[in-house]
């Protein structure tokens, strides 16, 4: 229980850094031209997609076994 509380406190300290990054992205997007904003949006999309790809790669065996079980249960 003590470890969880310690982790929670650490996460609360790091939240401020995450908010600062969002403000920095907003400031950059406001100061640049339309073409650069499009590039920034594309970069953000790549950053968003990478964790989902990693999760799929790590859990693909479980995902495919779940799909196989669903097919055999129906059939």
Where are the domains positioned within the chain?
Answer: 1-73
- pLDDT at position 13: 79
Whether the Cβ atoms of residue 40 and residue 28 lie closer than 8 Å to each other = yes
Give backbone dihedrals phi and psi of 7, rounded to 5 degrees, phi first.
-65, -40
Q: What is the mean pLDDT of residues 1-24?
A: 77
Whether the Cβ atoms of residue 37 and residue 27 lie closer than 8 Å to each other = no
| pLDDT tens digit sequence for 13-72 | 777 665 656 777 778 878 888 777 778 888 888 888 999 999 999 999 998 999 999 999
């Amino acid at each position: 229980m003590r470890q969880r509380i310690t982790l929670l406190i650490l996460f609360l300290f790091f939240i401020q850094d995450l908010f600062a990054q969002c403000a920095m992205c907003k400031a950059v997007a406001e100061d640049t031209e339309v073409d650069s904003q499009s590039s920034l949006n594309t970069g953000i999309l790549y950053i968003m997609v990478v964790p989902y790809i990693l999760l799929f790669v790590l859990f693909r065996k479980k995902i495919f076994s779940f799909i196989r079980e669903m097919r055999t249960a129906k059939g």
